[in-house]
Structure 1
């Protein structure tokens, strides 16, 4: 249901029968591991890998349950995904690693950096989840919103709208993402995928990082799109701005810098790819 990613594709066997799909491009003194967000996959990085792979080894993974990786009864916790990336780093004997995490992938990256600090040299967090905090009643509302039946029965028009919410101006390339998502919905195992999304949302809510940010020792680059429609949550925090969420997280990180990219939404790294790639390349160097 998912076509070629456009980069050399591989699979590695990890613990608990996880088959992790990933792409591997470029070489250099540094290694970048790209971690996608909720309901996403490797294509999220297709505007960054071509440029950044000119000077670094770039590996982008499909998290378990997503994309071309194995499907299963995965807990979806941030610790689970952090453990998966840790195993990936160990299995491939990777050194001088910078984690590049988008949205949920940013929360996973921070969780990994705290759990296995020796694995991670630097962090790039683009529109990271975990900077915005929620009360217990708000967490219950969010859990109730993400259900397997609601995901399985999402009409095509809503699928298209959901994708548009991620962008300030949705690029034409995203039509392929939508087409692949619609094809996935016809698969026998789509309910299993939907359960992964539900578990991942619960995993984010149950694995908060905001209070732990002062423990992050790695140099960190934080990038948000100034027009992010998803962070903060517009329904729960209508008076909060993206800039305020970013600044709150930045204030707790000991070694961090922040960039707000104009005319960019939740996929800031995709809409403003040239500037994002320049920032990351300079930061890694």
Structure 2
């Protein structure tokens, strides 16, 4: 039986292969233009050139370096931007709230202050809801969104919402009391696949151990964000690149007649961009071409 914390995160949540030789990558530009959102510093990398910008947003308790392989792959044909969400990585954390709604304003701060156009937003895990909200409020500049291992049950009715809320509250209380004892077993038990390498596991667990626990808990607050309603407002196709260790239920998308494009990557856990980067990049390239 899946733990309450699994439910918590589940709520949020003609191709040419890339040459991954880092020596051939475009020069990275890091913070040439300072970006802030209401006084909070947002750290980012800005790489490559092109008419289309790929803006990558990381998931819970990790940071922008998880996209390094994608930066090296795609910056030959696109402008590629990665960001650290405030409270994680090298971004500031001098604010009270850390939730998907305010994180969406951080994404738009990057888009607007760097004067990005024709933006494809690519968000992992909890950042699915972040990029969706950013796209709705910045429709003139965003041409597509791609969810990475998220949007797994859009529009699907909960069988027992009160029980789900109870389990959620219990998980949040347990994390507030002892973050590591709850979060680390959850990652080990639920988010890794049998083929996930020891190096990838160690990297992720290390980042979880060193996360700001106050920020991490606040970032998981359940705001009952309605993905289906927001997708109706968005009015464009939802693209997903999901691991099949936990299948995606598209019945809600079909019932609500929401357009979607689902691509599966096989035999990875919740972090396909670092578990199988070459296969992931090929599949993502196909999605970008379709957008």
Shared fold per TM-score greater than 0.5: yes
Q: Is the 8 A contact 1:48 1:270 kept in 2?
A: no
Structure-1 separation of matches of 2:65 and 2:276: 15
Per the alignment, residue 110 of structure 1 pairs with 132
1:149 alignment partner in structure 2: 177
Q: Is the 8 A contact 2:200 2:275 kept in 1?
A: no
Question: d(CA) in 1 for partners of 2:70 and 2:188?
Answer: 19
2:184 to 159, 175, 179: 159
Q: Distance in 2 between matches of 1:208 and 1:247?
A: 16
Match of 2:248 among 243, 246, 262: 243
- Tell me the residue number matched to 1:67: 89
1:111 Cα deviation after fit:
1.4
**Cα pair 2:61 2:208 within 8 Å, conserved:** no
Provide the rounded CA distance (Å) in 2 between the counterparts of 1:199 and 1:136: 21
Query: Would the alpha carbon gap of residues 218 and 210 (structure 1) be closer, same or farther in structure 2, given more than 3 Å must change?
Result: closer
In structure 2, the CA distance between the partners of 1:247 and 1:35, relative to structure 1 (3 Å rule), is farther
Counterpart of 1:280 in structure 2 is 284
Seen in structure 2, the aligned counterparts of structure 1 residues 252 and 107 have a Cα distance that, compared at 3 Å, is: farther
1:110-189 superposed matches below 5 A? 110-129=132-151, 131=153, 134=158, 135-146=161-172, 147-151=175-179, 153-154=180-181, 159=184, 162=187, 165-168=190-193, 169-171=195-197, 172-182=199-209, 184=210
Q: Shift of the alpha carbon at 1:181? A: 4.5
Displacement of 1:248 in angstroms is 3.4
Structure-2 separation of matches of 1:252 and 1:145:
31
Residue 31 of structure 1 corresponds to: 53
Number of residues paired by the alignment? 254
* Residues 181 and 38 (structure 1), Cα distance of their counterparts in 2 relative to 1, 3 Å cut: closer
Q: CA deviation at 1:205?
A: 3.9
Contact 1:82 / 1:109 at 8 angstroms: preserved in 2? yes
Question: Secondary structure of the equivalent of 1:142?
Answer: helix
Measure the CA separation in 2 of the matches of 1:164 and 1:60.
Answer: 28
Q: 3-state DSSP class of the match of 2:89?
A: coil
Q: Distance in 2 between matches of 1:73 and 1:136?
A: 31
- Is the Cα–Cα contact under 8 Å of residues 149 and 243 in structure 2 kept in the other structure? yes
8 Å Cα contact 1:86-1:119 kept in structure 2: no
Gaps of 5+ in 1: 1-5, 185-189, 229-241
Provide closer, same or farther for how the CA distance between residues 205 and 179 of structure 1 changes in structure 2, counting only shifts above 3 A.
same
CA 160–136 in structure 1, closer or farther in 2 if over 3 Å, else same: closer
SS at match of 1:154: helix
Shift of 1:126: 1.0
Query: What RMSD over aligned residues (CA atoms) do the two structures have, in Å?
Result: 2.8
Residue in 1 aligned with 2:240? 222
> How has the CA–CA distance of structure 1 residues 173 and 262 changed in structure 2, closer, same or farther, with 3 Å as cutoff?
closer
Decide whether aligned partners of structure 1 residues 281 and 194 sit closer, same or farther in structure 2, where only a CA change above 3 A counts: same
CA gap of 1:115–1:269, structure 2 versus 1, over 3 A, is same
1:124 partner SS: strand
TM-score by length of 1: 0.77
Task: Show CA shifts across 1:90-139 (max 9, x none).
Answer: 10000010000111111111111223222311111111257356524413
What's the offset of the Cα at 1:253? 6.5
Q: Structure 2 vs 1, CA of residues 148 and 129 (structure 1 numbering), >3 Å: closer, same or farther? A: farther
- The answer as to whether partners of 1:42 and 1:62 remain within 8 angstroms in 2 is yes
Report the equivalent of 2:103: 81
Alignment-derived partner of residue 63 in structure 2: 41
Question: Could you state the TM-score of these two structures normalised by the residue count of structure 2?
Answer: 0.76
Verify the 8 A CA contact 1:98 1:122 in the aligned structure 2: yes
